[in-house]
Amino acid sequence: MPRAIVLVNADVGKETEVYNSIKQIPEVTEVHTSYGTYDIIAIVNADTNERLKGIITSRIRSIPSIRSTLSMPVVD
């Protein structure tokens, strides 16, 4: 099953809002807040690589108040 770790930078003061939005996406199996370079860490699973790409680009990156993301596909 294709999987990726997505690191997210949110606008200052919007971290909780972004966290809650990401948590609502069914394909996101884990979401955590972090203190450091990135504000939020999300684990995303999908049936295909194409669907994984779509979730990251269309669902996560389109959330208001996200400044940037870094996606790391997992290779098992």
Domain 10-73 has CATH 3.40.50.620: no
Task: Give pLDDT, residue 64.
Answer: 93
Q: What is the CA radius of gyration of the chain?
A: 11
User: CA 21 to CA 47: how far, in whole Å?
Assistant: 21
pLDDT tens track for 16-71:
999 999 999 999 999 999 998 999 999 999 999 999 999 999 999 999 999 999 99
Task: Give pLDDT, residue 76.
Answer: 81
User: CA 12 to CA 72: how far, in whole Å?
Assistant: 23
Per-residue buried b or exposed e for 11-35, using 16+ beta carbons within 10 Å of the residue's own CB: eeebbeebbebbeebebbeebeeee
Phi and psi at residue 15, to the nearest 5°: -60, -45
The domain spans of the chain are: 10-73
Judge if pTM exceeds 0.85: yes
